[in-house]
Structure 1
C-alpha cells in the first residue's frame, strides 16, 4: 500500500520533499502542531497527506521532537481517559500515539486522525520508523 500511494503521488506530481516544512524524516511521519496537520514520508518525500489532525490540549500537550514508532495496537483502549483508541501507533514511552478520534476537540496528548487517515497511518508506519513533531 505504501509503495502504491507513493508511486501514485509521484506520477501525479504531488509528492513534495518532507523538508519543505522543516520535517527531516526520511521514512515515517511528520506532525505540524501549528497547522493541525500530519503526513507520511517515504524516501524523503510526502507519500500521504497532509491530513487534518487534533493534538494535545493545554496541560496535556503533544511533545515536540523526534521519536520512533514503538508499537501498534489495532483496537486499544485508554484506561486513564476511558476511551477507545482505534488504529493506535505509539511513539512515546508515556502513551502518546496517532489514533482515530474527534478532530473537533483536543486530546490528552495523542494525535487524533480521521478514521480513514488513522487506517493509512496504522498500515504504513512501522516499528522503528521516525515521527517528528514540529511546533
Structure 2
C-alpha cells in the first residue's frame, strides 16, 4: 500500500468509519475531559506549516525529466544531396527528374538552382517538405516512380568519359571517333590533343564505320540535300562529314544526324577545324 493510501486509511479509522475525503476529525478526550486535537500524520514528503520557513529541512528536489525525444515520424529525413553537390549520384537524380518531367536541362552532374527548383516542385506535389534538398524520403519516392536511367539518359547533355582509343588511332594524325562513348579524340602520334562529344546518324541514316581520310574542308558549308547549315565541315566519306550542329547544342542526344558526325561545342570544332588537314585519318569505331 502506498503512503498516500495509508494516510487516507488512518483518517477513516479516526473518524469512526466516515466517508473518506469528507469526514471531520473529532478531538480525543484529554485530561480533565478537555478535548485535544489529534494531528493526523501527513504522507512523507508533504510539508506542514511549521516545516516551512527559513532553515526548515527540505526534501531533495525531484530531478527534472529529460526532454522527450521527437517521434521518429517527425524527425527530418537525412539529406543525401543538396545544392553545390556533384558527381554520378547527382547525375542519376537529374536523369530521374527528367523522366517525371520536373527537369528539362541536363543531366550535368552538378546540383544547381534548376535541380533545386525541380526537387522542390517534386516534393510539394507529393506533400513533402519543400526544401529543395534531396533527402532519403524524397529519393525513395522518386525511385518508386522512375526506372534506372541508361547510359545516354545520364549523358543526354554530355559529360561522358571517352573510352580507350582504337589501336588504329595510335599512329599519325587521327580523328579517332568512338560510337561507344560518343566522343571524338584528336590524336597526334598516340597523344590525345583534345576530346569533344559527338553524335551520329539516326537508325535510317547511320554513320559509316571504318578507316577514312579527310578529303575536303568547307568552313561555311550548306547542305543542299537537307537544306541546313554544316559549318566547319570536314568530309571523310561521301556526303558524311564531321561538323558543328546547332541542333545538337540545343537538344543533345534527343536528336540525331543524317549520317554526319555532329559536334556540339562550336569553340571545340573551330579549334579542330584549324588543325586538321586534308589527308588526315578518320577512324570510326565502337
> What range describes the TM-score normalised by the shorter chain of this pair?
0.7 to 0.9
Match of 2:194 in 1: 48
Q: Once the two structures are superposed, what CA deviation does each residue of 1:4-55 show, in whole Å capped at 9, x if it has no partner?
A: xxxxxxxxxxxxxxx9432422212111012111110112211111x11111
The structure-2 alpha-carbon separation of the partners of 1:62 and 1:21, relative to structure 1 and needing over 3 Å to count, comes to: same
The normalised TM-score by structure 2 is: 0.39
Distance in 1 separating the partners of 2:175 and 2:276: 8
Unpaired runs of at least 5, structure 1 = 1-18
Q: How does 1:50-65 map to 2 (within 5 A)?
A: 51-65=196-210
Match of 1:126 in 2: 277
Aligned pair count? 115
Match of 1:90 in 2: 235
Q: What is the root-mean-square deviation in Å for CA atoms of aligned residues?
A: 1.5
**Structure holding more helix per residue:** 2
**Structure holding more strand per residue:** 1
The structure-2 alpha-carbon separation of the partners of 1:55 and 1:67, relative to structure 1 and needing over 3 Å to count, comes to: same
**What is the aligned counterpart of 1:22 among 134, 141, 166?**
166
Secondary structure (helix, strand or coil) at the match of 2:221 reads strand
Unpaired runs of at least 5, structure 2 = 1-162
Q: How does 1:96-111 map to 2 (within 5 A)?
A: 96-101=240-245, 102-103=247-248, 104=252, 105-111=255-261
The normalised TM-score by structure 1 is: 0.80
